[in-house]
Amino acid sequence: MAESLRYYIAHNGGLKVMEHRAGSMQPVAEHFPGVTLEHIIGGIKKPEVVFAAVAFDGGYRSEDAGKSWTKIIDGDARTFTIDPHDERVVYLGIGPIRLFRSEDGGKKFEPLDSMLDFGPEVTKKWGVPAQLTGVEFPHVRHIFIHPDDQNLIYVLLEHGGVLLSRDRGKTWYDRSVGIDYVDMHYIENLPGSKERYFVSSARGFFRTDNGGEHWRRAETGMPWAYTEMQSYSHEWHFMPGGRMVLCGGKGSPGVWRRDKHSPLGHILLSDDYGENWRISTKGLAKENEWMPWVLLQHPTDKNALFAGMGDGARGYGFDARISGKGAFYASRDRGDSWEPVLKDTPSVLTAWVAAN
């Protein structure tokens, strides 16, 4: 994939902005030394505008395609989402759990604190594993704006569950029934539907047919399907033709540390809207020593994907000196086959690819 693209590749300890030059990938800028980026994303209409969420530090904005950055908010920034209906609208999620929105392209943010107006029956689920108590707080993991309805928003909490607003953040509903362990990662809707969604988590991959009123597992064919501790799923996407592509592993990072094994990561494919799954192995090991942490759609080729992979050395802002090992892969055929874009890199935690 040597076309004119700009790659934003985040490792423990920093961000590299890269381009294809003289037949190879070359860094054109490096930023955020010594910290951990949790998320990076940019605009489609204005790809030079990019946002970076830096754990335990803050949110940053670039207007020049990553050459320079301006801090726009302090705090434990974890994720940004740009409204697909209007790129002037940008959402930001942090920890402890809080949601913000900008109406001016991400220069100024205002809190949407109505999301916090839940009773203890909901907020008692907002926590972190015991070993992280006092180290970090529950936080917003992912913000989803429905592509057909600007008012329809889902917010995923890590840990805490699934929250829904139908009025652009004025009122909220907990939509976590059916998910026992509410460490949530990524959500999308079935294209064209406002009722069917799929969501990934640290213990299972789930489907709803009623807007989240109840979830059930959708794991048939996955290597550790329907297990409580080992069915780990992370980022995923719908592709043309009804295909779904999903990143998974054997257990969560806590399980890897406890059982002393690598992530045994894999990329899964479904061609029947999540009814059945199989492992994509062309160009990849069936059980990878790395976890595919991030899955990205190509900015101009609807059949192409990128996957950023790494071992269990995610810093989470705790120790960004632990760089780990990983690679950055690409697929031209909706995930059927993969080839490395970058080999032998530090663990890739998050990434974004834009038309240059």
What's the rounded Cα separation, in Å, for the pair 223 and 279? 8
Whether the per-residue pLDDT at 163 is higher than 60: the answer is yes
Q: What is the dihedral of CA 191, 145, 81, 205, to 10 degrees?
A: -60
Sign of CA dihedral 217, 221, 227, 228: negative
Q: How sure is the predictor about 9, in pLDDT bands with cuts at 50, 70 and 90?
A: very high
Whether the per-residue pLDDT at 1 is higher than 60: the answer is no
Say how many C-beta atoms besides its own lie within 10 A of residue 273's C-beta. Answer: 16
Per-chain mean pLDDT for the chain: 93
Q: What digits encode the pLDDT tens for the residues 98-127?
A: 999 999 999 999 999 999 999 999 999 999
Whether the per-residue pLDDT at 315 is higher than 70: the answer is no
What's the rounded Cα separation, in Å, for the pair 115 and 113? 5
| Averaged pLDDT, 17-37 | 88
What's the rounded Cα separation, in Å, for the pair 54 and 179? 28
pTM here?
Answer: 0.95
Question: Distance from CA of residue 180 to its chain's centroid?
Answer: 21
Highest average pLDDT, of 13-22, 284-293, 328-337, comes from 328-337
Q: What digits encode the pLDDT tens for the residues 243-299?
A: 999 999 999 888 888 888 889 999 999 999 999 999 999 999 877 889 999 999 999
